[in-house]
Amino acid sequence: MSLDAQEIVTPVRQVARTRRTRYKAEIAAVSPESSRGTFEQHDTCFLGVSLENSNFTTPKLASMVKWISRRFDRCTVLVGDSIHRLTLESTQGMAPDAARSRALELGRCFEQTSGEIFDEYRESTDFTLLTCGEVQTWAEYGDFHNKLRAFFEENDTFRTSVESFGHAYHRKRACGISEAEWDRRIRMSSDYFLEEFAVFACLTGRGLPVMVYPGSFSTLSEIAQGAHPGALDELRELIVVSLHLKGR
């Protein structure tokens, strides 16, 4: 899950205390735009959680949970554990097995350290934690992922959109790397998004029509707006609510 090209694949910090203790979550954008005034008619959503991302420090997470509790009866908290292995491989050079183990460990750490935040608002909203690793075991995940990979290979517009995130992020850290290493990093960033989007499709297909995230998903928003008509129906039907976290 990704704030922008910088936040999507950037490992930063796990949920932790920061000097600023209060934030207010506000709507930055809704995709499709036509759903801005109607998305709250749904009683359930899912909140995407990116591990080691500065938008998920304790006070920022608390502001999002509070915002959700005022609008939805149920919320699935999607923890991006298994897909985070690709971030660790591409940015830290970790071996695949080590990256997976570390990513799953970070996911467990998030669950252990964030429980009190969700408990505070359970009277108004039923929060359920779910990991990407769990979703990737679902029967429909493989089919969604295969279809997304095929669409990525066949459709130049979609492929360019997905790759643009990796280009923007890795360009800032490309000094001195070889062309082969550059290509590897872009490929891994694209792999991250394709896995992530397949997970989102699974959740939409199981009755979670609204995604909440502190930032923007350009490609996902483009799909919601109808820019990629060949994409999965489940992604074209998803409503993406991007939040801005304002310090107070």
Residue of 99, 106, 5 lying closest to 49 (CA atoms): 106
Identify the burial level of 130 via C-beta atoms within 10 angstroms of its C-beta, where 0-12 means exposed, 13-18 middle and 19 or more buried: middle
Measure the CA–CA gap between 224 and 102, rounded to whole angstroms. 33
DSSP state of 124: T
Residue tagged 């910090």 (tokens): 13
Q: Is the peptide bond before 96 cis (omega within 30 degrees of 0)?
A: no
Residue tagged 């600023």 (tokens): 20
Measure the CA–CA gap between 123 and 5, rounded to whole angstroms. 36
Domain that holds residue 206: 5-247
Measure the CA–CA gap between 162 and 101, rounded to whole angstroms. 26
How confident is the prediction along the chain (248 residues), in pLDDT tens digits per residue?
543 433 433 333 344 444 557 999 999 999 999 999 999 999 999 999 999 999 999 999 999 999 999 999 999 999 999 999 999 998 888 999 999 999 999 999 999 999 999 999 999 999 999 999 999 999 999 999 999 999 999 999 999 999 987 777 666 666 667 778 878 888 999 999 999 999 999 999 999 999 999 988 889 999 999 999 999 999 999 999 999 999 97
Residue tagged 């990407």 (tokens): 132
Question: DSSP string spanning 18-74?
Answer: -S---EEEEEEEEESGGGTTTGGGSSEEEEEE-TT-GGGSHHHHHHHHHHHHTT-SE
Question: CA geometry: angle at 3 spanning 160 and 138, to 5°?
Answer: 80
pLDDT at 95: 96
Encoding tokens for residue 229? Answer: 């008509």
CATH number at residue 205: 3.40.50.11710
Q: Which helix (H) or strand (E) holds 223?
A: helix 218-224
pLDDT at 90: 87
Measure the CA–CA gap between 89 and 68, rounded to whole angstroms. 33
Residues for the chain: how many in total?
248
pLDDT at 57: 94
| Domains contained in the chain, number | 1
